[in-house]
Structure 1
């Protein structure tokens, strides 16, 4: 959704509060496709700080399903976003690129809420997701989920530096 910022920028110190529904239905990255099952409306506060500077503050909560990093079981995950960005509206798009300013959510005098939420979601994505703290993962040999029970595979792994010596003993018998 695009929000026109001309009203906020019309006078210094002006504060506008909005609650908007975002139309982001999934989070797609190189990591995969993650549908968003629940999404709270985005509560935004837009503040004109003067000298064409705008403070964008907001919060929302999103729920998605992320596979467990150890056993690949789907884990329903709640992600809370707290947004606080200061934007210089006088700066050109080229100037923002030169300053490495990540404000692709500002298009002219419009705020693209989907791009804002997507960027914050990208930064706040969990580094590690586990189905439970003591998740045992999957067997390296057969792929069975070890949380459901042992698979019976031989899990003894020899030190690879000793593989040559082990081969000598195997051949001497």
Structure 2
């Protein structure tokens, strides 16, 4: 990750005002994680969005907004529910799902998971090392930690989306190097 991307992230956080000010102190965790995922996107990866049951509203929000901007190319973010809407209750089910996705997305894919690190939805997302994880109540390597007890959680998720989208646009238009 370049210093330019870190500086750009700080500028975007500050431009978003109090909405995203909480992220300023955590930008050193946020920036490398997001930069690594944007690199995958530029390499042609598709991101498959999964949320726990409490965050389904955010999945709908994210997917409705990510390609709403008509001034930039569409980006490959899709819902797992739209591809495979059956329960994965065993490791074998997860392996079969990953086989299906490997065939379906030959340029590569990763999961984008927002939720607690419990249940099979998390296990599906965690089955790919490249996955982007926004986890609640537990910190894991290569994930972004949030507290499910935070009264401002919904606002924080929306502000994370906004900073992510601004970073995506800047990288796509070569306004900043990763």
TM-score range, shorter chain: under 0.3
Larger helix percent: 2
Larger strand percent: 1
**Whose RCO is larger (CA < 8 A, sep 6+)?**
2
Q: TM-score, normalised by structure 2?
A: 0.24
In our comparison, the structure showing a higher alpha carbon Rg is 1
